[in-house]
């Protein structure tokens, strides 16, 4: 079968799988009856992959709905299940943080920043806007300071780390000179 079935399923989808053929059987039932284990395995892989995509899409949809609805409890539950959901972006490039900023949801913004940090705060829309840019453009005064504070805190930590690394390197150089 070598991927032929997967390509056919990509074109025909579930309709192709559910269609009845000889004796009222589905393609999978026919493949099973005829002992085509490779075809059955390929169909099963495709079905499992589709189910995983649908579940991920449902989680993402629930996550963005929770952001829109200012539902912090649901956000926490979804992030606990999959922290990577923080970095999902919609077709416009908006992350959950962008959407929370648009809604002016200060508690959600704070939680998202706490969980996603600078990586999340640095995501840009298709127009090149960070969540902070959006807050400033839309005059979201309740959330703009949180975003600025997160960016400044990260910059301060990065600067301090660089200073410590430089001091450690100098100490090693001095130690090496005195040996």
pLDDT of residue 114: 87
Distance of alpha carbon 28 from alpha carbon 40, whole angstroms: 6
Distance of alpha carbon 49 from alpha carbon 14, whole angstroms: 12
- Tokens at 93, concatenated: 């490039």
Is the separation of the CB atoms in 120 and 84 below 8 Å? no
pTM of the model: 0.59
- Tokens at 169, concatenated: 């390197």
Residue range 1-11: average pLDDT? 73
Alpha helices, DSSP H, located in the chain: 4-18, 27-33, 37-68, 72-81, 96-103, 106-121, 131-137, 144-177
How confident is the model over 54-105, as pLDDT tens digits?
Answer: 877 777 788 888 988 999 999 999 899 888 889 988 888 889 999 999 999 9
Per this entry, what is the length of the chain? Answer: 179
Report which DSSP code applies to 128. S
Residue range 108-113: average pLDDT? 91
Distance of alpha carbon 99 from alpha carbon 85, whole angstroms: 14
């Amino acid at each position: 079968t070598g991927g032929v079935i997967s390509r056919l399923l990509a074109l025909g989808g579930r309709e192709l799988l559910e269609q009845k053929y000889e004796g009222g059987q589905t393609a999978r039932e026919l493949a099973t009856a005829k002992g085509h284990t490779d075809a059955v395995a390929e169909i099963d892989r495709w079905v499992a992959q589709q189910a995983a995509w649908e579940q991920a899409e449902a989680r993402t949809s629930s996550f963005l709905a929770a952001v829109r609805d200012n539902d912090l409890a649901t956000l926490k539950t979804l992030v606990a299940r999959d922290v990577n959901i923080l970095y999902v972006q919609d077709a416009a490039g908006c992350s959950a943080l962008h959407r929370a900023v648009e809604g002016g949801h200060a508690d959600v913004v704070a939680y998202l920043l706490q969980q996603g940090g600078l990586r999340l705060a640095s995501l840009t829309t298709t127009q090149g806007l960070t969540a902070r840019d959006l807050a400033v453009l839309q005059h979201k005064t309740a959330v703009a300071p949180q975003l600025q504070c997160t960016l400044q805190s990260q910059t301060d930590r990065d600067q301090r780390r660089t200073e410590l690394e430089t001091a450690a390197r100098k100490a090693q150089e001095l130690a090496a000179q005195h040996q």
